[in-house]
Amino acid sequence: MITYRLTSPLLSLAVATSVFLGAVTISSVHAADDTVTSKAKPTKTEKVADESVSAETPAPKAGPKPDGILLRYHFKKGQYVHYEEDSRSEMKLMAREQTQETSEKRRTNKHFRVVSVDEDGSAVVEPIIDRVQMEVRNDNGRPVTYDSANKGSAPKDFKKVEETIGKPSLRIRYAANGKVEQLLPLNAQSHEKIEATEQEKQNFLIAFPEDAVAIGEAWTDNYMIDVSVDGKLRNPLKKRVKIRRTYTLKNIKDGIASIGFRIFPLAVERDPRIKGELIHHSRFGSVQFDVKRGIILEWQSSGSGQVFEAFGPSSMMKALSSTTERYVPSPSAAKRRTLAPKKPAGPAGPQLPGLSSL
């Protein structure tokens, strides 16, 4: 699932981490085309007509469209939906005959609460992070760990993470198909954060099409992110880059819809510095959606990439990450589990634009 990201200062190589995801993401507010808003509308892909058919030759009649299914969330007032996310990221930078490696593994327990539901099925939900366990390692040094469940103050490098635990900063109004209709910040500070960050991080649900979807059919949505053009940490010159998410309904079995997705930049960037910033926005994954209950059961994604000269001549950057997020029927049992995520899998498909194989 695609929502909040936690970034530790220890990650000098900018390993991105997401808390409400996926996301993604996965998991994550949608923007329509070239404007960043919270009202993007997923559009179904359309087949292009065969140009070889002349005006004199009647086009073949299209067969009947396969029966589709209407994918919708079933929000209920007062509902609590819990998830557990395991993720791991690795990054390696080689420049000027020096090598630096950074790795992070993280487990996040979180939930969202349904505050209200309208007659049309739209709802206001409030995402909350319950617990975070993190381990960060630079090169072969000793790992630095953090568990928000432990009493006492968090280490300096995890202070920003600690501030998010159990403290909702916004509510999100969703349409029944998962499209974000409105962001509702709970305080002025969170409002500033929403305006300053890529808004797609705030969405942790898939936005389904307005109409029914047949097996094998695809739909897309786009969002915009800002990347630094000059590489400066303070007041950088920014450029907007359009990212596309493409979803495909693979099959439906025993009431569970299997959905594959791909996330990638629409344009092929030539600037190595920008390609390095986009390395975490190229991913493949899958989603398991319970059609009857209207909830996401599992969200998996992985990505990898290699960029040359992202940090100057003769430099090379490699990145590998994976995330698995699962619905938790028994949140009390999940909270007792300790951090032990698996090593990230390799890329889940053909290489994406602008990136070579890791």
Q: How far apart are CA 203 and CA 183, in angstroms?
A: 10
Burial class (CB in 10 A: 0-12, 13-18, 19+), 71: buried
- Mean pLDDT over the full length of the chain: 77
Tokens 């990054």 locate to 91
What are the structure tokens assigned to 212, written together?
Answer: 């029914």
278-326 pLDDT, tens digit each? 888 899 999 999 999 999 999 999 999 999 988 888 899 999 999 999 9
* Residues 133-177 pLDDT 10s: 999 999 878 888 999 998 777 777 788 888 889 988 889 999 999
Cα 128 to Cα 60, 237, 264, 338: the distances in Å are: 53, 33, 28, 20
Cα 290 to the center of its chain, rounded Å: 19
The pTM is what? 0.73
Mean pLDDT calculated for residue range 68-79: 96
The DSSP line for 166-222 is T---EEEEE-TTS-EEEEEESSHHHHHHHHHS-GGGG--S----SS-B-TT-EEEEE
Neighbours of 110 (CB within 10 A): 27
**Band (58; pLDDT cuts 50, 70, 90):** low
Spatial distance between the Cα atoms of 233 and 303, rounded to a whole number of angstroms = 25
Q: Which two three-digit tokens encode residue 272?
A: 């190595």
Burial of residue 78, with CB atoms counted within 10 A of its CB: 0-12 exposed, 13-18 middle, 19 or more buried: exposed
User: Residue 333: what pLDDT?
Assistant: 58
Confidence grade of residue 89 (pLDDT, cut at 50, 70, 90)? very high
Contact call for residues 129 and 135 (beta carbons, < 8 A): no
Calpha distance 195→174 (Å, rounded): 19
Q: Is the pLDDT higher at 296 or at 34?
A: 296
Confidence category of residue 339, pLDDT binned at 50, 70, 90: low
User: What is the C-alpha separation between 180 and 174, in angstroms, rounded?
Assistant: 5
Mean pLDDT of 108-124: 96
For tokens 């390799």, the residue is 346
> Exposed (0-12), middle (13-18) or buried (19+): which is 22, by Cβ within 10 Å?
buried
Q: Where do the domains of the chain lie?
A: 68-335
Beta pairing, strands 170-174 & 180-185: antiparallel
- Mind listing the pLDDT tens digit for each residue in 117-132? 999 999 999 999 999 9
What does the alpha-carbon distance between residue 75 and residue 176 come to, in Å, rounded to a whole number? 8
HSE value, Cβ hemisphere, 13 Å, CA-based, for 237: 5
The architecture of the domain spanning 68-335 is: Roll (2.30)
pLDDT tier, 343 (very low <50, low <70, confident <90, very high otherwise): very low
CB 17 within 8 A of CB 106: yes
Residue 191: predicted pLDDT = 57
Cβ-Cβ contacts under 8 Å for 270 (sequence gap 6 or more) = none
| Residue with token string 């960060």 | 136
Q: Which residues of 131-153 are buried (b: 16+ CB within 10 A; e: fewer)?
A: bbbbbbbbeeeeebebebeeeee
The pLDDT assigned to 52 comes to: 40
